[in-house]
Chain A
Amino acid sequence: MSTPLLLSGAALLFWGFAAGVPLLGLLMALFLEGSRFSRARLNLSAKDFIRISDLCALLLILVGVLLFFTQPPRTAMLMMFQWLVLPLFILVAFQAFSVRGRVPLGTVLWGARVLAGEKEQDWGPSVDLSWPFLALTLFTAMVPDLRHPAVFSTLWALTAWALWARVRHKKARAACAGLLVAAGLMGFVGQKGLHSFQLYLEQVSMQLLEHYWQRGQDPYRSLTAIGEMGRIKLSHEIAFRIKPNQSARKDFLLREASHNIYRRGLWMGSHPQLTHADSMTADGRWLLGEKRQTTGSLLVSQPFPGKQGLLKLPSGTHTIGGLDSVHLLINQFGTVLATGVSSRTIYTVEFGPETFLDSPPYEPDLRVDETQAPGVFRLAEALNLSDLSPEDAFGVLAAYFDENFTYSLVQAEQTNKDRALQIFLEERRSGHCEYFATAAVLLLRAAGIPARYAVGYMAHEPPGKDGWLAVRKRHAHAWALAWVDDKWVDVDVTPPMWMLYEAQTMTAWNRFRDMVSDAVFAGFLWQREGGIKKLSPIMIALAVLLTLVLVYRFVRGARVSLVLKERADKKLADKRDSALDSPFFRVEQLLAQKGFVRPGHETPCAWLARLQAANAPFGFDDLAPIVKLHYRLRYDPKGLPEKQRARLSCKVDEWIASNSKS
């Protein structure tokens, strides 16, 4: 490695701390820096390096596929960057422990191999990967969101170390030090400025949006597809998983948020206020209401890209556990935002018949603007909803929609957003859950029942063997909340065939993705329940043994020889040394003494042939095998075996003895 001593190790340690795996970083650092002190070297050919780089590429692809299936795209990409160090470390480690110490460019770049052809010399120059790897390590160490001044300082210190080590002239050192300090200061101010600039931009754009929609509205809003044309795309990707405990319920409506103001296809909350929850108990559970009665509980395994997200909660949630080191923000519409959560977390939710999170109804929960939703009052009157009890009204609504409406994800034509709901109710009579939920909310309000619009998911798939139930992105759902008997109850009037309708679009590819996702989730559960710590020492010993056998097979099977560094370095030197004292030089010396000096440009063979042609008085026939052995000693990469060398010496002695008097 051509990087300064300990620099690569320090960078790996930095990466390990940043990635949350300091032990792994330390091990990698020790291994890589150990190559400077170790004498063992692998005699790897270019083809071996191709195999290793292909293996690294394969690992990278596998990691990429796993992340793609288990994480949102953006998080997956960032995590790919962060863990890019691992596969490349394998390649760099092999380079560090190889006799060559460098890697032919074509072995790393597949494209270069394709264009350059089979010959190794066309693959471009051999490169030392240690510097690019150092840059990559520092780069990827900055992927995790660690906001601490020490992070930038470490980045600067390691970069300065790398650049300082390259300064050759003493006179340039003072200027270099000054520039590095200046660059550090500029960088620090620059990164702060970038961050502030982004925040400013976001604020300005948010204000512009709010101004456009309605001044003072909550940024949490639901933009529906009401009035839009085309087919609503459904994703079968698993969004999260739940595990109900001791409950006979098959379906769960898990709410993320609710809104109470409807305007042209957009649902919004009226003056929402996110406040920090401060009701954590001593055992790390969040009490969101009085724990009067518990009818059931759930385990929810949910990814939190960006370390924050809305919790998926059933109606009547009063206790949340497993989120002891996070912040919870709650608003009056039952929205619970968790921040500072690890990327995938399992939390418990206990719920009862009462609702605590949502504020009691107020004026906007009864507001129906006829201009926004024409036709609603007509239908409410036709169904005579205002004369019914709330429970009866729910039943009438559900029956009405089930009998007269169909569920559809396709809208054949674009409609005016103001008239979209009217067209749905009076003409088309077909739509998706947003239509049904919006209509239900407005009809209930028209009947004098306070109602809100809720969005979330409906979990209805059968649970797996482990009791966990997958909730897919296509299970995203909207329904109504109605205020009955001093509590909010879920009112879902979407015809139940929607679940069957959406499930029809599952393909074999989706099932394959499910299998991968299940496997990853099983690994996550295993890791959560103790992981490798659960394995018995015998199992660990077996795994280590198996790894050693695989390495041994690789070394032997690939015909890679393990040589000592000094031996490898000295091998050529020894060969040169041994060739310099070739017995043939005694012949040359003797002939020089007789006046037949070999010119520097003439090979021994040509020289002797010339002397023979000139009838010099020596036994040239006996010299032929001597010259042949001498050539092998000098130029054969394998050298000359000891026996042959002794034979050469013997033959030279004989020749000198018989020709010294000529």
Chain B
Amino acid sequence: MLLRRFFFRIFTAVWRRGRWIRRRFTDAGILILTVFVISGLIGLDTKRTMIHQVFALSGSLLALSFLWWRFKSSIVVLRSFPPYTTAGEPATYSIRIENRSTRTKRGLILFENLEWQPFDRQAFLQGPGWRKLPGAFFSRISGWPRFYYQAKNAANASAPRIALPVLEPGASVVVKASVMPMSRGRLRSRGLWVGRADPMGLFLGLDRLDEPSDCVVLPRRYKVSALQLPGTRRLHRGGLHFALSVGESEEFISLRDYRPGDSKRRIHWKSFAKQGHPVVKEYAEEYFVRHALVLDTFYNEDDFRRFEEAVSVAASFAQNMLTQDSLLDFLFVGSKSYCFSAGRRLGNVAGILEVLASVAPCREKPFEVLTRSVLDRAAQMSACILVLLEWDAPRQELVASLRGIGIPLKVLVICQEDLPPLQPDLISDDPTQIIRVGPGQAAKVLASL
């Protein structure tokens, strides 16, 4: 544990320093800095080689470029992100820049000051599967792959540097900018950096402009072929508004006399008082199609790509199914069991996708929590789509239970390449209902459903 803590400290320090270097130096500057460090490490013996000359020259270049450290841009920017973007797709927006100084500004560089998620120390230290980490011996001892995936997740977007045109005093210009979100979630920017390189083009003097903005990065979505789930409409006591609430809230039609078996909670007490005998409220009963989309969030690996693939598959279904005239319940387990309903007048695509944008793996609870949550709602399901991450006994049990109730199923197992072929003996009459999605195959599989 001590060693892990040590490596975590080293990795975070190096990564942060590297982030600072990438922000402060140009590509040429990074190259010179690398040469400076390496020549310093191996060229210390000036009697054996001439590498100390490289060290001295690169050091001089860097020292002189640092003279351009202080920089005040005197420009004002105005920009805001689009409200929604999609992971892996560049979002474009415009930035208005105004030069409020009395001097012409040349060679300015503009880039986003994107906020990074903090590194999760506990997840690094206590996460499972240290021995299963990919790579060589050092990777397994130090946990480098785990940190690498965390760092990739922390830097959830990249924005290229924009070279600004010449800005005359008082002039303003609008430039197109883009940001590439790498992963779903919330993308936050604290503002913008305005930089000016030294004349040799090695080091950037930076001026920070606070212009906070954020947007929701939706999961990647794939095109889903027209999906036909054979489910029928189900009775939903209380009509459409039932879906809005939990419990006995229903659509009121009229009052009628009490019949044995009616719930006491339906007694209309005012009428009871007036009439002298029990009167109950009567509600409309409606039948409509209600699909369930179940996302398996029980994931214990460091490489999140498979989990992200599962979220993308679920998002693709959610987007596709909400365009149809049906209700959709989206079920998953986070810190507790969640069920979000959408469709008809209840919600929209963006709502479900926003929820999907923030879904995180559940490491603390067993899979049975999801099984219970799904089976509790099974009575009202017309059909169910299960997006699973494994094909083990608890998951097979869930599929068998739903199958036993008679709910039409479509099961997608997002699996690794080396997973043995699925044994769909549970659904012997229609083996196509269990679909194996290998790495990078989600788009192809969803298009051919």
- Contact surface of A with B, Cβ cutoff 8 Å: 74, 77-78, 81, 111, 114-115, 117-119, 131-132, 135, 138-139, 142-147, 151-152, 155-156, 159, 162-163, 166-169, 171-173, 175-176, 179-180, 182-184, 186-188, 190-191, 193-195, 198-199, 306
Contacts and interface: CB of A to CB of B under 8 A. Distances in A.
Interface stretch (B48-56, B282-290, B390-398): B48-56
Interface in B269-305: 303, 305
Given A115-B135, A119-B440, A167-B201, A194 B107 contact: no
A111 B136 CA distance: 9
Given A187-B57, A195-B46, A143 B148 contact: no
Query: Considering residues A131, A166, A173, A184, which has the most beta carbons from chain B within 10 angstroms of its beta carbon?
Result: A166
A179 B64 contact: yes
Which has the most chain B C-beta neighbours within 10 Å: A159, A168, A183?
Answer: A183
B57 A145 contact: no
Chain B interface residue bracket vs A: 35 or more
Contacts of B303: 117
Contacts of B60: 182-184, 186-187, 190
B354 interface: no
Interface in B302-333: 303, 305
Interface in B193-239: 198-202
A159 B199 CA distance: 14
Contact of A176 (B35, B48, B58, B200): B200
Nearest to B47: A198
A198 B45 contact: yes
A172 to B, nearest CB: 4
B54 A183 contact: no
A421 B198 CA distance: 69
Given A131-B31, A182-B64, A115 B47 contact: no
Interface in B67-125: 106-107
B199 A172 contact: yes
B134 interface: yes
A142 B48 contact: no
Contact of B56 (A77, A163, A194): A194
B55 A194 contact: yes
Contacts of A78: 42, 48-49
B449 interface: no
A191 B43 CA distance: 11
B439 interface: yes
Contacts of B39: 139, 142
Contacts of A184: 57, 60
Pick from B49, B106, B198 the residue with the most CB of A within 10 Å. Answer: B49
25 contacts: A77-B42, A111-B135, A114-B135, A114-B145, A115-B135, A142-B51, A145-B47, A147-B50, A151-B53, A159-B57, A163-B61, A163-B202, A172-B199, A176-B199, A179-B65, A183-B61, A186-B56, A186-B60, A187-B57, A187-B59, A187-B60, A190-B56, A190-B60, A191-B52, A194-B52
A194 B51 CA distance: 11
Contacts of A173: 199
A142 B200 contact: no
Contacts of B44: 198
Contacts of A145: 47-50
B428 to A, nearest CB: 33
A186 B199 contact: no
Contact of B200 (A146, A163, A191): A163
Given A186-B63, A194-B56, A135 B31 contact: yes
B134 A183 contact: no
A132 B57 contact: no
A155 B200 contact: no
B45 A143 contact: no
Given A143-B50, A175-B199, A176-B200, A117 B35 contact: no
Given A115-B148, A176-B200, A190-B60, A155 B53 contact: yes
A176 B28 CA distance: 14
B57 A183 contact: yes
Contacts of A183: 57, 60-61, 64, 200
Contacts of A118: 439-440
A135 B34 CA distance: 10
Contacts of A168: 107
Contact of A198 (B31, B46, B202): B46
Contacts of B107: 168-169, 172
B305 A117 contact: yes
B3 to A, nearest CB: 20
B38 interface: yes
List of 6 A-B pairs having minimum Cβ-Cβ separation, nearest first? A190-B56, A187-B57, A186-B60, A175-B199, A191-B56, A176-B199
Given A115-B135, A186-B56, A188-B56, 18 more contacts: A78-B48, A114-B135, A117-B439, A131-B27, A131-B28, A145-B47, A147-B50, A151-B50, A156-B57, A171-B106, A172-B107, A175-B199, A179-B200, A182-B64, A183-B200, A184-B57, A195-B46, A199-B47
Nearest to B28: A166
Contacts of A188: 56
Contacts of B50: 142-147, 151-152
Contacts of B47: 145, 195, 198-199, 306
A191 B57 contact: yes
Contacts of B202: 163
Contacts of A146: 50
A195 B45 CA distance: 8
A155 B50 CA distance: 11
A179 B148 CA distance: 39
A180 B200 contact: yes
B135 A195 contact: no
B31 A143 contact: no
Contacts of A155: 53-54, 57
A111 B133 CA distance: 13
A139 B54 contact: yes
B113 to A, nearest CB: 22
Contact of B31 (A132, A176, A193, A195): A132
B38 A139 contact: yes
A132 B440 CA distance: 33
A182 to B, nearest CB: 6
A139 B45 contact: no
A193 B57 CA distance: 12
B25 to A, nearest CB: 13
B135 A143 contact: no
Contacts of B64: 179, 182-183, 186
Contact of A187 (B31, B53, B65): B53
Contact of A143 (B35, B49, B59, B439): B49
Nearest to A194: B52
Most buried by A among B47, B135, B199, B202: B199
Contact of B134 (A114, A180, A187): A114
- Residue from the set A118, A138, A142, A169 with the largest chain B CB neighbour count within 10 Å: A142
A380 B193 CA distance: 86
Interface string B22-34: 0000011001101
Contacts of A176: 199-201
B35 A135 contact: yes
Contacts of A306: 47-48
B221 to A, nearest CB: 18
B65 to A, nearest CB: 8
Contacts of A171: 106
Contacts of B53: 142, 151-152, 155, 187, 191
A142 B49 contact: yes
A167 B31 contact: no
A438 B31 CA distance: 56
B26 to A, nearest CB: 9
Nearest to B31: A135
A111 B142 CA distance: 14
A383 B404 CA distance: 105
A483 to B, nearest CB: 38
A117 B441 CA distance: 14
